[in-house]
């Protein structure tokens, strides 16, 4: 299967040739410049090839930006043409003293600097005749293809790892650089700290030859003259590059206190506009990063360590993070801003002792069972981690939201973490940072290794919204991160599990009695059932399928490249069908097995598959093997695929269940309460402004929906405020305003959009613009 893109479609290409060569470790060394809105620096890639990457008889092709039928033409990078006045150079323990950073000042938006840029216009990707071989192609060189977009690549070179002092202990042939890299990557788990140290030293080694490179819309392609196979290609390369202010992987904005900040937004293109990388999930790697910014900023990142700043000259600070658990590059997250830190007021002695047990000393590793993943320092093999209910955690937010965080969020974290542990066991990650992101964040939350982003919308009202969303993101530590989908089209393996588990975690966090927990979960099921009905009625059928590739799920081309269908469709970001249908499938299975049996199995599944990538059949086959014979009638992998995963619309088993199910007691109480308030609201009465302000703060979204529904013009300012401050939830309100067909409400929607569109992420802006215009 070769990559052939149709520019008229909304598919996302994964271009990296991961079947030939894999990035096993990244070392990033970056400077964040808020004046020019650019992140600039270097990334060193440590690569691994194997027997399967050796010379092949046939070629594997990937598109490249040629304008003729000839083979791709690669150029040596031209010297940077930007004046180096006002240049800021920094050094740190992981820094580069011998590189000059091109001048920073005004925003770099032109891309016309004599370097290779990813162009916005379509390239020859869509034409099969414009191709370059990425495997072996006779007398030509091997081609390394990385996913890359919206970046200016300045220089690519091989790293002379043999020049690092002391490196000779890793090989008997110190002049064989690829052998050195191989031996470094092969160090046993109990030497991970030494391994990270030598990765850092190697990343600072001098270059030993520039490499040919070129870019197209979606990729960076690199060659070395004479290297015909992946085995011959350099296994340590350094790329100097800079991001662009309009790059889609990060957003430059202001926080709720008006201070500048930048953060990864969970873009459909993931991190390829932040650094060149291998995007396919199979390219699981570790990383370490040093990031420098003005001393007034805090740098947060996916990292096992709670980094502290190192003060540098000229009012700058350096932050260093690392990860030793191999993860897809798409899970890398960074946020830089003037955040205020909040910690729990008290920490139990048990928490303190357990946190100390996560020190780097190898003596603390006590193996308890065998893991099925590649070797890394795994928490599931630590007896101390298995009993740790609450992992160390911190909250960061703009100063103006400190009070709301301390009142609403901070008290919820320990019970939610403890509840998750009681259901699934060992926390996959050793610590957790939670950041309240700016108002332009288009979701209620996003989970990454060791860090969770939450929308400010979760802080309003009662603890229900904050607690349930926190539980959802905590659940992603197991499903979505520690256990990932091998094929990104199977999103339900992440979102369906997190949606199902959030109810279970939240009920335990509230310490509800069993009947209360059941009633609460039934009420939430009723609400989700109605939401799912609306979703399938108002979305394309082809986007309602949870396993769209069917028997081809998990398949890639010979090179490893693939396509994510509808991955660039802006509407897909806001669809909930994979959340809801996945949730109802898991709920159906839990009922069939019985709750106790199901969650006992789930712990077993987590222990078996953590640190690995899975497909739907991996979960279903193991589940069916654990179901007693008497509970298996009409339950098979094939039937589940047919009824739940490979069909659009409402699954038939769910239709039958909802038709037969009477409304639960709690839902009946809610219906009666609604009827009562409908009667009350028919009575004429005066409302003080203070009362309305209190209502607005507690139930902002529902209050605004009622304003729109009843055309309550006196409160339109509340709607305007909500649309600007709560963009994670406000996008749906734009639809309500336009569907009303009221000219005044439609004018309000368009005016709010004009005020907010510059701060909105691209997908949100496209969806809202389609509604309004």
Name the residues annotated as catalytic. 473
Which helix H or strand E contains 316, and what residues bound it? strand 316-328
For residues 289 and 265, the answer to whether their CB atoms sit within 8 Å is no
Only one residue has tokens 């619309």, namely 649
Residue 222, strand partner residues:
144, 213
Strand ranges, E, within 131-194:
131-133, 143-147, 151-159
The pair of three-digit structure tokens given for residue 229, joined into one six-digit string: 């196979």
CA distance 203 to 99: 13
Q: How many C-beta atoms surround the C-beta of residue 583 within 10 A?
A: 25
CA distance 429 to 427: 6
CA distance 553 to 546: 11
Which helix H or strand E contains 675, and what residues bound it? helix 665-681
CA distance 83 to 81: 6
For residues 150 and 249, the answer to whether their CB atoms sit within 8 Å is yes
Decide: helix, strand or coil at residue 743.
helix
CA distance 672 to 420: 33
Residue 221, strand partner residues:
145, 214
For residues 28 and 582, the answer to whether their CB atoms sit within 8 Å is no
CA distance 261 to 250: 10
CA distance 652 to 583: 15
Strand-by-strand arrangement of the 143-147 sheet: 143-147, 219-223, 212-215
Q: How many C-beta atoms surround the C-beta of residue 210 within 10 A?
A: 13
Strand ranges, E, within 4-75:
12-14, 22-33, 38-48, 61-63
For residues 611 and 374, the answer to whether their CB atoms sit within 8 Å is yes
Only one residue has tokens 């979305």, namely 539
Task: Single out the residue of 660, 599, 584, 597 nearest to residue 630, CA to CA.
Answer: 597
Only one residue has tokens 């700016």, namely 438
Q: How many C-beta atoms surround the C-beta of residue 615 within 10 A?
A: 16
Residue 316 exposed, middle or buried by CB count within 10 Å (0-12, 13-18, 19+): buried
Q: DSSP labels for 343-380?
A: --S---HHHHHHHHTTSS-GGG----S---SSSS--GG
Q: CA 289, 321, 29 angle in degrees (round to 5)?
A: 15
CA distance 769 to 749: 10
CA distance 467 to 195: 39
The pair of three-digit structure tokens given for residue 486, joined into one six-digit string: 């091998």
For residues 393 and 432, the answer to whether their CB atoms sit within 8 Å is yes
Q: Which phi and psi (to 5°) does residue 168 adopt? A: -65, -20
CA distance 390 to 417: 5
The b-or-e profile of 710-746 (16+ CB within 10 A means b, else e) is: eeeeebbebbbebbbbbbbbbbebbbbbbeeeeeebb
């Amino acid at each position: 299967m070769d990559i052939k893109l149709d520019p008229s479609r909304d598919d996302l290409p994964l271009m990296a040739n991961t079947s030939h060569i894999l990035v096993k470790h990244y070392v990033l060394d970056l400077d964040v410049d808020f004046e020019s809105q650019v992140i600039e620096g270097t990334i060193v890639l440590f690569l691994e090839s194997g027997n399967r990457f050796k010379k092949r008889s046939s070629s594997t092709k990937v598109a490249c930006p040629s304008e003729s039928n000839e083979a791709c033409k690669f150029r040596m990078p031209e010297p940077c043409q930007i004046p180096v006045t006002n240049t800021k150079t920094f050094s740190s323990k992981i820094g580069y003293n011998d590189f000059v950073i091109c001048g920073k000042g005004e925003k770099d938006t032109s891309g016309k600097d004599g370097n290779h840029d990813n162009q916005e216009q379509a390239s020859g990707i869509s034409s099969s005749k414009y191709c370059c071989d990425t495997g072996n192609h006779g007398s030509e060189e091997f081609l390394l293809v990385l996913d890359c977009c919206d970046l200016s690549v300045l220089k690519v070179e091989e790293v002379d790892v043999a020049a690092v002092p002391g490196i000779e202990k890793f090989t008997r042939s110190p002049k064989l650089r690829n052998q050195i890299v191989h031996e470094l990557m092969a160090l046993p788990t109990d030497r991970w700290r030494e391994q990270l140290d030598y990765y850092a030293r190697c990343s600072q080694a001098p270059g030993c030859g520039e490499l040919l490179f070129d870019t197209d819309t979606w990729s960076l392609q690199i060659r070395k003259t004479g290297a015909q196979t992946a085995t011959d290609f350099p296994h340590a390369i350094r790329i100097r590059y800079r991001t662009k202010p309009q790059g889609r992987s990060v957003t430059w904005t202001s926080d709720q206190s008006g201070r500048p900040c930048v953060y990864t937004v969970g873009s459909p293109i993931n991190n390829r506009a932040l650094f060149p990388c291998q995007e396919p999930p199979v390219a699981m790697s570790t990383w370490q990063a040093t990031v420098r910014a003005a001393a007034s900023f805090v740098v947060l990142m996916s990292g096992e360590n709670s980094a502290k700043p190192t003060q540098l000259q000229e009012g700058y600070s350096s932050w260093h993070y690392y990860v030793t658990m191999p993860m897809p590059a798409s899970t890398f997250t960074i946020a830089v801003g003037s955040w205020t830190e909040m910690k729990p007021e008290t920490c139990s002695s048990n928490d303190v002792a357990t946190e100390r047990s996560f020190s780097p000393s190898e003596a603390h590793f006590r193996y308890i069972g065998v893991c099925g993943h590649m070797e890394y320092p795994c928490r599931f093999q630590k007896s101390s981690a298995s009993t740790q209910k609450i992992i160390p955690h911190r909250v960061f937010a703009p100063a103006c939201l400190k009070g709301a965080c301390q009142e609403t969020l901070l008290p919820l974290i320990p019970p939610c973490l403890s509840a998750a542990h009681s259901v699934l066991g060992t926390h996959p990650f050793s610590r957790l940072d939670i950041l309240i992101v700016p108002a332009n964040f288009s979701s209620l939350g996003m989970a990454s290794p060791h860090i969770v982003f939450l929308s400010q919308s979760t802080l309003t009202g009662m603890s229900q919204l904050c607690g349930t969303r926190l539980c959802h993101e905590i659940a992603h530590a197991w499903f979505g991160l520690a256990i990932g989908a091998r094929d990104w089209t199977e999103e339900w393996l992440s979102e369906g599990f997190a949606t199902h588990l959030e109810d279970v975690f939240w009920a335990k966090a509230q310490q509800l009695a069993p009947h209360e927990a059941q009633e609460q979960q039934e009420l939430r099921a009723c609400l989700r059932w109605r939401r799912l009905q609306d979703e399938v009625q108002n979305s394309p059928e082809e986007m309602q399928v949870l396993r769209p590739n069917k028997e081809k799920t998990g398949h890639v081309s010979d090179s490893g490249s693939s396509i994510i269908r509808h991955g660039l469709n802006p509407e897909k970001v806001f669809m909930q069908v994979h959340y809801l249908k996945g949730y109802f499938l898991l709920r159906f299975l839990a009922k069939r097995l019985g709750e106790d049996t199901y969650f006992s199995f789930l712990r077993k599944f987590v222990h078996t598959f953590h640190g690995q990538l899975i497909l739907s059949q991996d979960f279903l086959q193991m589940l069916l093997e654990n179901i007693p014979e008497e509970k298996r009638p009409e339950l098979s992998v094939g039937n589940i695929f047919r009824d739940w995963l490979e069909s659009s619309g409402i699954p038939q088993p769910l239709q039958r269940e909802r038709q037969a199910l009477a409304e639960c007691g709690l839902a009946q109480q809610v219906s009666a309460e609604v009827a009562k308030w409908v009667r009350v609201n028919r009575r004429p009465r005066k409302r003080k402004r203070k009362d309305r302000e209190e209502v607005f703060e507690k139930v902002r979204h529902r209050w605004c929906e009622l304003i729109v529904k009843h055309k309550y013009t006196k409160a339109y300012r509340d709607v305007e405020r909500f649309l600007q401050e709560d963009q994670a939830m406000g996008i749906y309100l734009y639809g309500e305003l336009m569907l009303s067909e009221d000219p005044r409400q439609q004018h309000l929607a368009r005016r709010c959009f004009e005020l907010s569109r510059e701060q909105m992420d691209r997908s949100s802006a496209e969806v809202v613009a389609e509604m309004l215009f």
